[in-house]
Amino acid sequence: MSDVAYAKPIRVFHSIFAFCMLTQLAVGTLMDVPEVEGEHEASTWITSAFAHEAEHGMGSVEETLGFQVHEILGLVIGGLLVLRLLLAMTSLPGANWRKLFPWLFADGRQALKDEVQSQLSSWMKFKLAAPKDGEVVARSVHGFILLFSLVMAATGLQLYLGWSTIAPQTMWIELVAEVHEAAVTVLEALLVAHVLAVVLHQMQGHNILARIKP
């Protein structure tokens, strides 16, 4: 068995993905969203306006630079996630989807339960076990980060195709935007937990950064 926790492609992926995601979250918070005020377009659930094919006629709003960067970076992140999904189907160390989603399998759910039971009292004291003593929970947090990033990317793609700068959004697009924003909130909470766990591991001498450094 290999001693390497994460294969080189996963480690390179992590650096690029973390950079893109942190930039995207910052841009998404700071940007101005080009929106035409008013009632929902023809109260329809169907995407009626294709923002990127629309002619900019009277009453259209300009896309800001921040919004354009957000769109392009979103497409890049979508591509990175497809790449990570492909890696998850390989047997490269640290890549496999079974480790990311242990709760999908009976033995994985048991391992999660055992780890929580044996480590919960230490976690309450902000003390984390070294990865060699159990990392089922940590890996499933990584799985949730990827899962919610996927929700963000899928809803973002739908918004990219359907967002209108010439008319009020359809109800469907409004709903997709709500899901997109809710996914961002969950993701931010997961990332705070992720980075806090990394800091605690480093302080407790587990040097987990060495496992993921490209």
Q: What is the binding site for ligand HEM (CB under 6 A)?
A: 5, 10, 13-14, 17-18, 21-22, 84, 94, 131, 135, 138, 142, 145-146, 149, 191, 194-195, 198, 208-209, 211-212
* Nearest distance, CB of residue 131 and ligand HEM, angstroms: 5
Q: Looking at beta carbons only, is 60 or 96 nearer to ligand HEM?
A: 96
Q: Looking at beta carbons only, is 13 or 67 nearer to ligand HEM?
A: 13
Structural element, H or E, at residue 162:
helix 136-162
Instruction: Count Cβ neighbours within 10 Å for each residue of 90-116 and write b for 16 or more, e otherwise.
Output: eebbbbebebbbbeeeeebeebbeebe
Q: Looking at beta carbons only, is 20 or 166 nearer to ligand HEM?
A: 20
| 55 to 60, 62, 210: CA distances (angstroms) | 9, 12, 51
Query: Which of 11, 26, 30 lies closest to 191, judged by CA?
Result: 26
* Nearest distance, CB of residue 127 and ligand HEM, angstroms: 16
> Is 129:119 a contact under the CB 8 Å cutoff?
yes
* Nearest distance, CB of residue 82 and ligand HEM, angstroms: 13
Q: Looking at beta carbons only, is 120 or 209 nearer to ligand HEM?
A: 209
